[in-house]
A and B are shown apart, each in its own frame.
Chain A
Amino acid sequence: MSEINVSRRGFLKAAGVSAAGLVIGFYLPGVRGRAIAAEAPAQQIQYPPNAFIRIAPNNTVTLLINKSEMGQGVYTSLAMLINEELEADWSKVKVESAPVAPVYNHTVFPIQLTGGSTSVASSWEQMRRIGATARIMLVQAAARQWQVPVDECHAENGVVTHKSGKKLSYGELADAANQLVPPTVVPLKDPKDFKLIGKSTKRLDSPEKVNGKAQFGLDVYLPNMLTVVVARGPVFGGKVKRFNADEARKVPGVKAVFQVPTGVAVAATGFWPAKTARDLLEVEWDEGPGGQLSTAGLMTEYTDLAKQPGKVANKHGDAVSALKEAGKTVSASYAVPYLAHAPMEPLNCVVDLRKDSCEIWTGTQFQTVDREAAAKIVGLKSEQVQIHTTFLGGGFGRRANPVSDFVGEAMHVAKHLKQPVKVMWTREDDIHGGFYRPMWVDSIEAGIGADGKPVAWRHTIVGQSITTGTPFEGFMVKDGIDATSVEGAADLPYTIPNLQVDLHSPRHEVPVLWWRSVGHSHTAFVVETMMDEMAHLAGQDPVAYRLDLLEGSPRHQGVLRLAAEKAGWGKPLPAGRAYGVAVHKSFESYVAEVAEVSIDDGKVRVHRVVCAVDCGRVVNPDGVRQQLESAVVYGLSAALHGEITLDKGRVQQSNFHNYPPLRYTEMPTVEVHIVPSEAAPTGIGEPGTPPVAPAVANAVFALTGKRLRSMPFDKTTLA
């Protein structure tokens, strides 16, 4: 056992609870944690007694999970962490989403949120400690009842057993344990004793996701609720000048048509009448400068900027002089488009606003931010607002919005209507709705020496800052450099003696946001395709070339070797097929991918993607595999097809026919290999996305001799 001494204060601080609050509560008969949070006076809302664990007399253990389940398997992985130490009967463990309260804040950021591939890494200690604390209290309760020393008792599978053979179940002990003072010393298991952690474990949320019972935000129906759709402007930053709702109001079921800050809201008895009426609205818009924006114009502006050095994000040596002296040089410019997240469940938010309280049901990644925004809009204190986090039908970053767009708008609607509302977005609203992955233009010039090794690297990045102007600016922007713009580019793992990476951050009306893997979604593409060009220039094998330059990073090397070996790198492929490789670190995890491609009717076809991942100690191996499979598909959708473009300020895509995600017939075989590791766990939701586009582009080069330097690849006809 590894002894971890935690002072009570320390623990309470770690758990975010005031010293007066109860750290870990058990079942209180007749009271549900969520109900307490929603209905109790303000003081109790902040410190609900049943913070993470509730044990019922029938031995059912309910874990309240403070992270949003959006497909990444967090309900299961955090439950595994708690139960590794709690030692409850896993078959009796259920999970519920936690309400919003400081006790549920992220351990690193002082708010409740799910994002940045941080859930397991940041909860790794906290959740195990919570489980261990509860187990210790249950054992103490049993020892007291039997009048025996604690160390003669042992907890396993939801039962405390005395060496004499006496047994008491957790359900029988919960009440007594609840009266005890939490221990000050909370030892955690030696990893070699782990029973759950490291074992592939079935997701706890699967059963309700195969029979239609899982509740997403869209599935919430309240009595007397109206369904609302909002007509938003055709260009970003536009405002309603005037509108005519005469025809719209005639649609049976329409109850109200009114202006909100984002547009014109139509409220009806259901979605269909609301949407039908919205189509009949006549709205005149004041477009503002957003009406001038076009992708072609932005491309010209960005390309010009990319020719001039920007603000320096990283520099060592003298790249400019070294390039002049280099034996061979290569230069290239790259372009990647705006991308919508397009989660499968369109955005939505249900609000029940009362005089002095408010309940919100929505799939959000950003509980604290949304709650604050909601409270402000309706003039309530944030403690008077409760958010019920439903399942999220995909997030990918879209449901973590620093400006709370979909929740804020729903609050304005609710304020006007004074009855329960569900604001729904159509797919068109979602695709037109902004908060895109920024469009990026990059230029790189690199040179190699006589031995083929890189001697110089100059990289200029152009694209909007995601965090500037948001509350995250203080965290992320330093000296004018938004870390999310240059991540994966300013911190190259390769040994290059002369390097300069600089950045331009133009500003305009298109709202941008983090999109699965954030800056890495473009930096891995440009860096890893350029490394491939350099290997080619040096006349070396792309895997060997990288391994040599990664001497300083054994974990990069480890995944690269493993992916290459499992893919059969270097072995002959059937005619018309080729391999490409890329390796990238993001969210502290290392992923290498080898893609096998062919060309089919002028388009890239991806047959197989072999992934190797090092994400430290793995909690749920099958969960890691799921996330890599998912990240590869998400990355491929963007690499092959994804693009949001503007003309006269209008978004030219609208639904899945012209913003097509990868479909079934395009699915490659995805193999996932995990590097065994005892290092602390790191991110897994995002790191599989960045390497796939460059791996595919490099494979296309190997096959055709043609370099793909812009996405989506489908726009280039290949032979």
Chain B
Amino acid sequence: MISLTINGKSTKVDADPNTPLLWVLRDHLQLTGTKFGCGMAQCGACTIHLDGEAIRSCVTPLSAAAGKQVTTIEAIGETQAGKALQAAWLDADVPQCGYCQSGQIMSAAALIKQNPQPSDDQIATAMNGNICRCGTYGRIHSAIKQAAEDLKKGGAA
């Protein structure tokens, strides 16, 4: 049994400690918003926050999360940055197939939290690990700028 906090709820998981967090979230807890795209830290579809940092859950073993805070797409809307990003995403109508979008938003949320007013280059660098086969990068960019702008107007991020 490994104990960790997932989206604010303390949770005990009975799984091999080597199991990547992605599969703990999906197969054990049915938190299916976090996606599988590559399994080797190449695409970012599985991005979640571990103690506030964006990580690739497909290559992070359950044992590494023991006693830590996990946040997934299901709860990111409860943070100020996540909420602003989701609203901006809708404004720009970013998603197409939508499959990569949880990971995109989780990467963007980690960025905004660390750097509330990122430059174009900083956004590009932070988002470069998230692949979108539908090619929504341009809209993601506008949405992140917009969210940063909204957060500035609305107070501290």
Give chain A's interface residues, CB within 8 Å of chain B. Answer: 69-73, 202-203, 205-216, 218-219, 221, 227, 252, 269-273, 342-346, 391-396, 426-427, 622, 626, 629-634, 637, 655-657, 661-665, 667, 669-670
Residues on the A chain within 8 Å of B94, using CB:
206, 210
A272 with B16: in contact, given A209-B98, A344-B134 (CB under 8 Å)?
Answer: yes
B103 and chain A: residue at smallest CB distance: A344
CB-contact partner of A211 in B26, B33, B136, B139, under 8 A: B33
Per-residue A-contact encoding for B99-117, CB less than 8 Å = 1, 0 else: 1111001000000000000
Whether the pair A218, B35 counts as a contact (CB closer than 8 A) is: yes
Whether the pair B72, A427 counts as a contact (CB closer than 8 A) is: no
Per-residue A-contact encoding for B13-49, CB less than 8 Å = 1, 0 else: 0011001100100111011111111111011010000
**CA of A208 to CA of B98, assembled, Å:** 9
CB-contact partner of B135 in A269, A395, A427, A633, under 8 A: A633
CB-contact partner of A393 in B35, B127, B140, B141, under 8 A: B35
CB-contact partner of A212 in B34, B36, B140, under 8 A: B34
Size of the chain B interface, CB-CB below 8 angstroms: 56
3 closest pairs, A vs B, by CB? A212-B33, A633-B135, A393-B99
- Determine whether B157 belongs to the interface, using a CB cutoff of 8 Å to chain A: no
Give chain B's interface residues, CB within 8 Å of chain A. Answer: 15-16, 19-20, 23, 26-28, 30-40, 42-43, 45, 72-74, 77, 86, 89-90, 93-102, 105, 124-125, 127-128, 130-141
Q: How far is the CB of A454 from chain B (nearest CB, A)?
A: 34
Whether the pair A393, B138 counts as a contact (CB closer than 8 A) is: no
CB-contact partner of A270 in B23, B95, B138, under 8 A: B23
The total of Cβ contacts below 8 Å across the A-B interface reads: 173
Q: How far is the CB of A620 from chain B (nearest CB, A)?
A: 10
**CA of A70 to CA of B98, assembled, Å:** 8
Whether the pair B99, A216 counts as a contact (CB closer than 8 A) is: yes
A207 with B90: in contact, given A346-B36, A629-B138 (CB under 8 Å)?
Answer: yes
Residues on the A chain within 8 Å of B33, using CB:
211-213
Majority-rule SS of A interface residues: loop
A253 and chain B: residue at smallest CB distance: B16
Majority-rule SS of B interface residues: loop
**CA of A34 to CA of B152, assembled, Å:** 46
Residues on the B chain within 8 Å of A395, using CB:
97
**CA of A161 to CA of B134, assembled, Å:** 44
Q: How far is the CB of B136 from chain A (nearest CB, A)?
A: 7
**CA of A269 to CA of B73, assembled, Å:** 24
Q: How far is the CB of B147 from chain A (nearest CB, A)?
A: 12
Whether the pair B73, A218 counts as a contact (CB closer than 8 A) is: no
A664 with B99: in contact, given A427-B37, A655-B42 (CB under 8 Å)?
Answer: no
**CA of A208 to CA of B102, assembled, Å:** 10
B38 and chain A: residue at smallest CB distance: A427
A663 with B37: in contact, given A202-B93, A203-B95, A656-B42 (CB under 8 Å)?
Answer: no
Residues on the B chain within 8 Å of A393, using CB:
35, 97-99
A272 with B19: in contact, given A212-B74, A213-B33, A344-B97 (CB under 8 Å)?
Answer: yes
Whether the pair B27, A272 counts as a contact (CB closer than 8 A) is: yes
Residues on the A chain within 8 Å of B139, using CB:
626, 629
Whether the pair B96, A630 counts as a contact (CB closer than 8 A) is: yes
Whether the pair B130, A664 counts as a contact (CB closer than 8 A) is: yes
Residues on the A chain within 8 Å of B141, using CB:
664, 667
A211 with B73: in contact, given A272-B23, A655-B42 (CB under 8 Å)?
Answer: yes
**CA of A425 to CA of B138, assembled, Å:** 29
Residues on the A chain within 8 Å of B124, using CB:
664-665
Whether the pair A426, B128 counts as a contact (CB closer than 8 A) is: no
Residues on the A chain within 8 Å of B73, using CB:
211-212
Q: What are 10 contact pairs spanning A and B, CB under 8 A?
A: A203-B95, A206-B89, A211-B33, A221-B30, A344-B100, A344-B134, A345-B97, A396-B133, A634-B134, A655-B40
A346 and chain B: residue at smallest CB distance: B36
Whether the pair A210, B97 counts as a contact (CB closer than 8 A) is: no
**CA of A670 to CA of B142, assembled, Å:** 13
Q: How far is the CB of B47 from chain A (nearest CB, A)?
A: 12
Residues on the B chain within 8 Å of A218, using CB:
32, 35-36
Q: How far is the CB of B23 from chain A (nearest CB, A)?
A: 4
Whether the pair A210, B134 counts as a contact (CB closer than 8 A) is: no
Residues on the A chain within 8 Å of B137, using CB:
633, 662, 664, 667
Max chain B CB contacts within 10 Å: which of A205, A393, A632, A662? A393
Whether the pair A209, B93 counts as a contact (CB closer than 8 A) is: no
A71 with B134: in contact, given A206-B90, A206-B93, A252-B16 (CB under 8 Å)?
Answer: yes
Whether the pair A657, B42 counts as a contact (CB closer than 8 A) is: yes
Residues on the B chain within 8 Å of A427, using CB:
37-40, 43
**CA of A664 to CA of B137, assembled, Å:** 6
**CA of A270 to CA of B34, assembled, Å:** 16
Whether the pair A394, B39 counts as a contact (CB closer than 8 A) is: no
**CA of A396 to CA of B105, assembled, Å:** 23
A272 with B98: in contact, given A207-B90, A219-B32, A427-B38 (CB under 8 Å)?
Answer: no
CB-contact partner of A345 in B30, B90, B99, B131, under 8 A: B99
CB-contact partner of A630 in B27, B31, B45, B136, under 8 A: B136
Q: How far is the CB of B30 from chain A (nearest CB, A)?
A: 6
Whether the pair B42, A343 counts as a contact (CB closer than 8 A) is: no
Residues on the B chain within 8 Å of A206, using CB:
89-90, 93-95, 98
**CA of A203 to CA of B98, assembled, Å:** 11
CB-contact partner of B102 in A212, A394, A661, A669, under 8 A: A212
Residues on the B chain within 8 Å of A273, using CB:
16
Whether the pair A626, B16 counts as a contact (CB closer than 8 A) is: no
B85 and chain A: residue at smallest CB distance: A210
**CA of A657 to CA of B98, assembled, Å:** 22
CB-contact partner of B96 in A72, A637, A669, under 8 A: A72
A271 and chain B: residue at smallest CB distance: B23
B33 and chain A: residue at smallest CB distance: A212
Residues on the A chain within 8 Å of B86, using CB:
210-211
Q: How far is the CB of B137 from chain A (nearest CB, A)?
A: 4
CB-contact partner of A632 in B15, B130, B135, under 8 A: B135
Residues on the A chain within 8 Å of B96, using CB:
71-73, 626, 630
Q: How far is the CB of B3 from chain A (nearest CB, A)?
A: 19
